[in-house]
Amino acid sequence: MKLVLFDIDGTLVNCGPQVRPLFASALEEVFGTTGDVDGYNFAGRTDPRIVIDLMTAAGVSREEALAGLPRMRALYLARLERSLERQGMTLLPAVEELLGRLAARDDVVLALLTGNWEPGARTKLSRFDLNRFFDFGAFGCDGIDRTELPPVALARAAKVAGREFHPAESLIVGDSVHDVTCGHDHGIPVLAVATGRTRPEALREAGPDWLVPDLREAGTAVPWLAG
């Protein structure tokens, strides 16, 4: 069996410019500042890491940033659910086809590995009815740094499948350098897809096992994905 761990933003969907202002408004309400939210690179970072980085750079102590996280999360997630519009989003190429094909197989388990807090992840996926493909995953709720998430995903997969998955039996699919490095940290192969905000050259330099322009090429790069 194989375990395939999908990132969301830039890998499955693109939310366009809708999310950053919602995140910023919650930061402003809780901390009195957004920090350099427009200059910060969200790609591949967990939601709590984004909050901590922005606020500590703006002069908020780490302790204050951590203390404000629950309220900031609640405000942001409510605004995301209320305001995120499908017409401002893009379902990325071949996503539904690939997920449908893999979900129909009895030798593949699908899961999420995303820096989004889980309710935010579910909101984004819901706009294209993609939650039906993912019963579980590892989320920004499970760690501050992305490298903390793969062990959580593997442990949850073992409970769901009734067997452990070795790193070599797993695959991370993501669009950022942080997707690649968190895979490397745990010996999990990585299929990098250049549909996000990270330049293909930067992805290549990070050293993924495979790099494709988009998920239409997934089965060419990793043949068992096409089976």
**pLDDT by residue, tens only, the chain of 227 residues:** 999 999 999 999 999 999 999 999 999 999 999 999 999 999 999 999 999 999 999 999 999 999 999 999 999 999 999 999 999 999 999 999 999 999 999 999 999 999 999 999 999 999 999 999 999 999 999 999 999 999 999 999 999 999 999 999 999 999 999 999 999 999 999 999 999 999 999 999 999 999 999 999 999 999 999 97
Domain extent at residue 153: 2-15+88-225
- Single out the residue in 83, 115, 131 at which a domain terminates: 83
Residues 53 and 102 in one domain: no
How many angstroms separate the Cα of 146 from the Cα of each of 44, 138, 174, 178, 220? 7, 10, 12, 7, 27
Residues 133 and 97 in one domain: yes
Q: What is the total residue count of the chain?
A: 227
As for how many domains the chain has, the answer is 2
Residues 106 and 66 in one domain: no
- Single out the residue in 26, 50, 83 at which a domain terminates: 83
Residues 109 and 161 in one domain: yes
